[in-house]
Structure 1
């Protein structure tokens, strides 16, 4: 049985290297559909044909037209990673102008397992809205990988390896607990 992973990303530097992450997810047995915020889609526009070839599905950044067929299979698990300060806060507040945030907000009500790993610098991490939003998402059953064992904020401009393996490990863990 194939497990469908919706891999969603915001406009944070780790999204630029999403190709190898897709390949890793596929090696783990996931059928991957890639969704992006509008800015992340613009950043990855030159890579889009290759990413579509890799996944076998269109890269999506916009809602489909009502009544049109969905081009993706139903999700078994959603991994929103990297998720920016803006995306985390919008999602927690239910502000669904972004396709990926809207799908995640709806997935809570549909019971689709959700994992997210923020990607914020330490300056954003000082804003009280982030802690409130993380607590809100966790309260709705979302696995938020923030802090020890997940993403730890870095100083603005500091480059640090993004823990993609931890995100994929948790996506595997939550979907296997649903089976």
Structure 2
């Protein structure tokens, strides 16, 4: 008997968020039922984009795309998650998440996910100048201590995202495969 595993792909407003079909298709091929959650700014990027990719992503996942909290009287429209993947993870979301701030649906799910013990992986996307801020190391350490797999390359050569120089990001080099490999096998 095959059981379906549900993955919440949580995307922040960074350039790789405009290429979400890539990880969705890859995760689906690995047996995941993918639900897409966007931060409010990532959602705005998609709705303001003339190409209008939201309907394509909705069709691809087969689920509504969520970006804001539902009303207390509203029903849950997504299945419960078995794992969380936040990619791309922005600097802003990193710090709010590490401090337990839940002012968006995406952050609420991430902070709750730690308390629920959900397997969670995060693949950052920010530049080297942002990475040098002392708060980054503290926030990454805080999340790792809570059990989150933060895929940020370190000075010891550990695997993960390598921050690029400001205004020199390469969206095509974003290592989606690394994020998906960090998910549990089921």
Find the residue that maps to 2:53 and give its secondary structure. Answer: helix
Instruction: Compute the RMSD of aligned alpha carbons.
Output: 1.0
Corresponding residue of 2:179: 167
| In 2: Cα distance, 1:113 partner to 1:84 partner | 19
| In 2: Cα distance, 1:128 partner to 1:119 partner | 17
Q: Which 4+ residue blocks in structure 1 deviate beyond 2 angstroms? A: none
Post-superposition Cα deviations, 1:8-29, rounded to whole Å, max 9, x if no partner, equal 0100001111112211111111
Post-superposition Cα deviations, 1:134-157, rounded to whole Å, max 9, x if no partner, equal 000001111110003110100011
Unaligned runs of 5+ in 1: none
| In 1: Cα distance, 2:137 partner to 2:108 partner | 21
The structure with the greater share of residues assigned to helix is: 1
Corresponding residue of 1:23: 25
TM-score by structure 1 length?
A: 0.94
The size of the alignment, in residue pairs, is 174
Unaligned runs of 5+ in 2: none
Shift of 1:95: 1.1
Aligned equivalent of 1:2, options 1, 4, 7: 4
| In 2: Cα distance, 1:102 partner to 1:138 partner | 18
